[in-house]
Amino acid sequence: MKKLLLASVAMSAMSGAAMAEDVKLGVLIGFTGAIESLTPQMAAAAELAMAEVNASGKAANGWNFVSVRGDTTCTDAAVAQASAERMVTADGVKGIIGGDCSGVTRAVLQNVARPNGIVMISPSATSPALSTDEDDGLFFRTAPSDAREGEVVADILLEHGVKSIALTYTNTDFGKGQSEFISKFFTEKGGKVTINASHDDGKADYSAEVAALAAAGGDILVVAGYLDQGGKGIIQASLDSGAFSTFYLPGGMIGDSLPLAIGPALDGSYGDIASSDADGNAVLKDISSKLATPFDSTSSYASESYDAAALIMLAMQAAGSTDPKVYKDKVMEIANGPADGSGEKINPGELGKALELIAAGKAINYEGATGVNFVGNGEAAGRYKEIVVKDSKNETVKYH
């Protein structure tokens, strides 16, 4: 009888093991290209959330989450789409954390995600056009729209006493949207935009663009570009020619690599980046700093990446399914919690607890690292931190 019982237990364990399922999630961001200095931290944050869920052992049906990385280059839609197609058709991912930059994100959404019914949660695509794009309920973003950032930029500039700006933007969906709303709000609040001109990424010489900006003049040059690409080139050319000495740096230009590359000449410039002062932000910073391989969770869009991954996994738990067409309807419910505020708040490091509560039929309100709350068409309301460059480092001034 004892042998039969042991055999029965062994068979049960084997059956449970057989039921376990690897659930692949795509991390689709620009590992090369215009924001490549940011993406190692973004990927590490998303994969930390997966590791946390796996370590808890609380996911339904023994789900084990596996990261599948894909490169977008940030700006090449063909590369991004090919990476996404591979993820979906060859790797069989059940959701995508990404894309990153707005143009490639829109291309992947329309040409890969929608045709295949795949959920995307972007941690960094901020174009206002994504608010109205058809998405079949599959697209969300944990970073706020540039429409919101435009007003923040205008307020910060005016607080600094700026009355006129020259504005240059990367010739992408991201840059166009950002420049449009910066110009709109700065003008509405009484400022003057002397020029609003695009620049292309990947050029070796930006002297012509800088000459046009200098001719128009302005109290400060606003560079709505990418920190590892044309935005950096515009700043260096401006400094070399003496056209401008102080720069405003919106999101896309904030990261450790820019002040290190430019050096002390960038000191005194200032800007903003989507970020949060939510309690969970400090929690994630503490967790990430104590890992065997630590990473900087305060790097741009890292916290948003952790939240994007967490929301996908918790929505799957709530739906009892890894089918994107099923769990997509649970994403906003998990992020916002019940309307009466009764859901238990969940911070980073508490994903196992969240899985248990969901399995027990209890409501949660996922706050995460960014205090995420979705409004409108699945996008974050968002907060921004104001930074100033001092001693070749970005220092936080305050939150907006």
What is the pTM (predicted TM-score) of this model?
A: 0.89
In angstroms, the CA 247 to CA 318 distance is: 46
In angstroms, the CA 384 to CA 126 distance is: 13
Query: Where does residue 375 rank: exposed (0-12), middle (13-18), buried (19+ CB within 10 A)?
Result: middle
Q: How far is CA 90 from CA 84, 86, 93, 94, 303, in A?
A: 10, 5, 9, 12, 29
Q: What's the CATH number for 21-145+278-380?
A: 3.40.50.2300
Count H helices and E strands in the chain, helices first.
15, 16
In angstroms, the CA 313 to CA 75 distance is: 28
Domain map (residue ranges) of the chain: 21-145+278-380, 146-274+384-399
CB 276 within 8 A of CB 398: no
The two tokens of residue 337 are 């919690």
Q: Do domains 21-145+278-380 and 146-274+384-399 have the same CATH topology?
A: yes
The two tokens of residue 299 are 């790097």
The four Cα atoms 265, 270, 275, 280 give a dihedral, to 10 degrees, of 70
In angstroms, the CA 180 to CA 197 distance is: 11
Q: List all residues 6 or more positions away from 256 whose beta carbon is below 8 Å from its beta carbon.
A: 37, 299, 393, 394
pLDDT tens string, the chain, 400 residues long: the values are: 333 333 333 333 334 444 578 999 999 999 999 999 999 999 999 999 999 999 999 999 999 999 999 999 999 999 999 999 999 999 999 999 999 999 999 999 999 999 999 999 999 999 999 999 999 999 999 999 999 999 999 999 999 999 999 999 999 999 999 999 999 999 999 999 999 999 999 999 999 999 999 999 999 999 999 999 999 999 999 999 999 999 999 999 999 999 999 999 999 999 999 988 999 999 999 999 999 999 999 999 999 999 999 999 999 999 999 999 999 999 999 999 999 989 999 999 999 999 999 999 999 999 999 999 998 889 998 899 999 999 999 999 999 9
CB 51 within 8 A of CB 312: no
Query: Where does residue 361 rank: exposed (0-12), middle (13-18), buried (19+ CB within 10 A)?
Result: exposed
**Superfamily of structural domain 146-274+384-399:** Response regulator (3.40.50.2300)
